[in-house]
Amino acid sequence: MITNLQKAYVIHSRPYKETSLIVTFLTKDKGKITAVAKGAKRRNSRLSGNLEPFQCLNIDYRGKSDLKSLILAEPCEVFEDFFGSENLYSAFYVNELINYLTAQADESIEIFDLYKKCISNLKKKNTVEEILRDFELKILSELGYEINFLSEYGSNEPITEGLSYKYAPQSGFIKSAKGYDGNILKEIIKRKFSKNSLKACKEINRATIDYYFEELNIKSRIFFK
| CATH of region 6-75 | 2.40.50.140
Q: What is the pLDDT of residues 171-216, one digit of tens each?
A: 999 999 999 999 999 999 999 999 999 999 999 999 999 898 876 6
Residue 8 forms beta bridges with which residues? 27, 57
* pLDDT at site 64: 84
- Angstrom distance (rounded) from CA 221 to CA 97: 10
pTM of this structure: 0.91
Query: What residue ranges do the domains of the chain occupy?
Result: 6-75, 82-225
137, 148 Cβ separation under 8 angstroms: no
- Residue 111 CA from chain centroid, whole number: 8
Reported as type and span, the H/E element at residue 20 is strand 20-27
Q: Which CATH architecture describes the domain 82-225?
A: Up-down Bundle (1.20)
Q: In what order do the strands lie in the sheet with 180-181?
A: 172-175, 164-168, 180-181
Q: What is the pLDDT of residues 81-123, one digit of tens each?
A: 999 999 999 999 999 999 988 876 677 889 999 999 999 999 9
Q: Helix, strand, coil proportions of the chain in percent (round to 5)?
A: 35, 25, 40
